[in-house]
Amino acid sequence: MTTLSLRRIAVLALPMAALAMTTAAQAQEWTPSKSIEFIAPANPGGGWDTLVRTMSRVIQQESLADESFAAINVPGGGGSAPGSMDHISMAGLASAAGMEASAVNYIPFSGGGDAMTNLMGGHIEAVIGGAGEAVGQLGEGSQLRALGVSSEERLGGGLADVPTYQEQGYDYTFDIWRGVMGAPEMPEEAVEYYETLFAEMLETDAWREASDQLGWIDAYQDSETFGAFLDEQQAQFSSVLTDLGLLRQ
């Protein structure tokens, strides 16, 4: 069995410190001078890997950048570790079902691909993961069954028949988003370059087709908006992590 939760894509270029925006004329003067190393902070096969490789493919296929984007997997920066968004999503669903969030035995994996492999091998009972990670494992002849999606409305494509949590009586929604970040020393004009690049990518037919197939919903934000969003998320998740015993007040 597997449960699905929505992977909402917040595509941004964001240094860890807030950066002021430069003018459009200045931004146009800056372009990458070499191949871009686009890092997926998890093993191949999971949500991060799928996102990075899909973005790289669309950018190159649509000739949106002169330099190539090289997808590189660096496990350890993501995955489903305790306190991850998958863990928080599961804890929220457990609470909505009247359970103690800490009572659910959450088993971390290095990525969504590893979690799905263990599920299919019968080593675990269920998975909280992204639609894009699971959609290829479902369908006719599959041994897996999707139990529900955490979005407010049903997803399309191969997941159209999967009911939402709310349809099943659980007053709970949760969007698992992903964003793109850069180094703290990234120049201001580079930030705007990538903001524009990713915004253009989301408008292509190739991206729309891929995101529909993977069950993604676009939620583009620029770096300033995304920075404010991260502050809100930190405040929201702090209470959940405290309930799980992972954060001291």
CATH homologous superfamily of 85-175: Periplasmic binding protein-like II (3.40.190.10)
Per-residue pLDDT of the chain (249 residues; tens, 9 = 90+): 333 433 333 344 333 333 333 334 444 578 888 999 999 888 888 788 889 999 999 999 999 999 998 999 988 655 566 777 888 888 888 888 898 877 888 888 877 778 888 888 889 888 887 777 777 777 777 778 888 988 888 887 778 888 999 999 999 888 878 889 888 888 889 999 999 999 999 999 999 999 888 878 888 888 889 888 888 888 878 877 777 777 666
Q: Return the number of other C-beta atoms located less than 10 Å from residue 79's C-beta.
A: 21
Q: How many residues belong to the chain?
A: 249
Token pair recorded at residue 234 = 């930190």
Please tell me the distance from the alpha carbon of residue 137 to that of residue 150, in angstroms, as a whole number. Answer: 18
Do 177 and 89 form a contact (C-beta atoms < 8 A)?
no
Token pair recorded at residue 27 = 């931004």
Q: What is 9-77+176-243's CATH topology?
A: D-Maltodextrin-Binding Protein; domain 2 (3.40.190)
SS3 category, 42: coil
Residue pointed to by tokens 């191969």 = 158
Show me where the domains of the chain are located: 9-77+176-243, 85-175
pLDDT of residue 245: 76
Amino acid at 37: E
Q: What is the pTM of this model?
A: 0.68
Angle of helix 112-120 relative to helix 47-61, nearest 10 degrees, comes to 120
Task: Give the end-to-end CA distance of the chain in Å, rounded to a whole number.
Answer: 35
Please tell me the distance from the alpha carbon of residue 6 to that of residue 200, in angstroms, as a whole number. Answer: 23
